Amino acid sequence: MKERILILGAGYAGSVVANILARTFRNKIARDELEVTVLDKNDININQGGFTFIPFELYTPEDITRPRNKLMSPRVKAFYGDDGEVTALDLRNKEITVKSNKKYGYDYLVIALGCKADISSIPGLANDLNTFYTSIEDAFKVRDLIKNIKGGKVVVSVASMPIPCPGAPVKFTFMLESYLRNVKKVMDDVQLTLLWPQEPIGPSEFNKLVTGELKEKNIEIIRNFQLASVDADKKEVISKNGEKVNYDLLITVPPHKAPEVLIKSGLTDEKGWISADKATLQYRGPAGNYDNVYAIGDLGPVDILKTGIGAHYQAIAVSQNLINDIYGNNIKTPYEGETGCPIVTELETPSTQGRGYIATWKYGVPPAPFTTTKMGWFLYRMYYHIHWDISVKGLF
């Protein structure tokens, strides 16, 4: 009988799994012994990592988007739009429903639906929402706002954790400082503040580097500031501890949560995220334990860092486990927590060299001491082009 692998979400993680499986099982697919199907609500893949750079005009929308059909192997059955937008998951009956009311069955399921900004959870935030985290359009709005900064108090607020790529707000803040100092030349009249919801900023060595750079650049940092509300009239943000900070311009990274359809289908834990085994990524949650269901990427357990690098490694481990499952190898390839966080501390400008680094780590192996370099800046900038033809296609 034909074996069916169904992948929900053709974003970063879902595309990598689909492409690896389509390559590995090309002969089985040709003989009609196996099918790989992918569903997504739309047909354009966005590299969200590029949102951080749009305000500084370092990438264009064309650089950070691709039609999904240019990325997905033709051996994969793909349904986008109403036939691909998941509206209900029934793990017990192995049945997925989409917006058009079509239903899909499976033998193996990969849930890779990412996560979503949750703006309405912060009272007042919608009244003064400037964010580069949610879309290309929103990132352009931030570009226009920062172009017009002439002075005053600029606050970058990270509302709460977890968020995708917790390093992105930090590198945005460093790039903003560099832009205001070296390009706009108004930094002497600006007070730049980063409101951070936790004590450390990432693992120990990451925190050490960032703390030193914040100090050197005279950027104020207020730690443990979890955003409770925004008063747009008073231009004031208030923390859960009642601390108040005024601003002239507020740029916010909103709280995030798993997609509504997963919450509605009863698959999320008390923290609102999908529960999975941290090593095998098999579903272990309120809906039961399912060895044939894998959950990967940004929707995963709260204690697995939500990064594209992590999603990529999870996709590789899950693809290998699906290959093991199909061949009945009885082997499990663990996800070892491989993840990373690219950091930029300086923009390339007429008076400065760009500086960056891609810090990586895994479970139990924190990042080693590092510094940002010109080479790191180039590698990270280059990565955005490699992303489409190497990473998303699952070629490494």
Ligand X SMILES: Cc1cc2nc3c(=O)[nH]c(=O)nc-3n(C[C@H](O)[C@H](O)[C@H](O)COP(=O)(O)OP(=O)(O)OC[C@H]3O[C@@H](n4cnc5c(N)ncnc54)[C@H](O)[C@@H]3O)c2cc1C
CB of 49 or CB of 394, closer to ligand X: 49
In angstroms, what is the minimal distance from the CB of 151 to ligand X? 26
In angstroms, what is the minimal distance from the CB of 186 to ligand X? 24
CB of 238 or CB of 283, closer to ligand X: 283
As beta bridge partners, residue 362 has: 365
CB of 86 or CB of 155, closer to ligand X: 86
CA 1 to chain centre: 37
In angstroms, what is the minimal distance from the CB of 50 to ligand X? 8
CB of 110 or CB of 238, closer to ligand X: 110
With CB atoms as reference, the residue minimizing the distance to ligand X is 11
In angstroms, what is the minimal distance from the CB of 67 to ligand X? 12
Q: Are 263 and 299 in contact (CB under 8 A)?
A: no
CB of 38 or CB of 187, closer to ligand X: 38
CB of 109 or CB of 112, closer to ligand X: 112
In angstroms, what is the minimal distance from the CB of 329 to ligand X? 26
Minimal CA–CA distance to 344: which of 352, 354, 333, 353?
354
CB of 11 or CB of 255, closer to ligand X: 11
Residues whose CB falls within 8 Å of the CB of residue 31, separated by 6 or more in sequence, listed in order: none
Give the C-alpha separation, 143 to 148, whole Å.
9
**First-to-last C-alpha distance (Å) of the chain:** 31
In angstroms, what is the minimal distance from the CB of 187 to ligand X? 23
* Residues at the interface with ligand X (CB under 6 A): 9-14, 39-42, 48-49, 51-52, 84-86, 112-114, 132-133, 164-165, 168, 259, 261, 297-298, 306-309, 311, 342
Kind and range of the H or E element at 16? helix 12-24
DSSP labels for 130-197? --SSS-HHHHHHHHHHHHT--SEEEEEEE-SS--SSTTHHHHHHHHHHHIIIIIS--GGGEEEEEE-S
Helix orientation angle between 12-24 and 308-327, rounded to the nearest 10 degrees: 30
In angstroms, what is the minimal distance from the CB of 89 to ligand X? 10
Give the C-alpha separation, 301 to 288, whole Å.
15
Q: Are 260 and 87 in contact (CB under 8 A)?
A: no
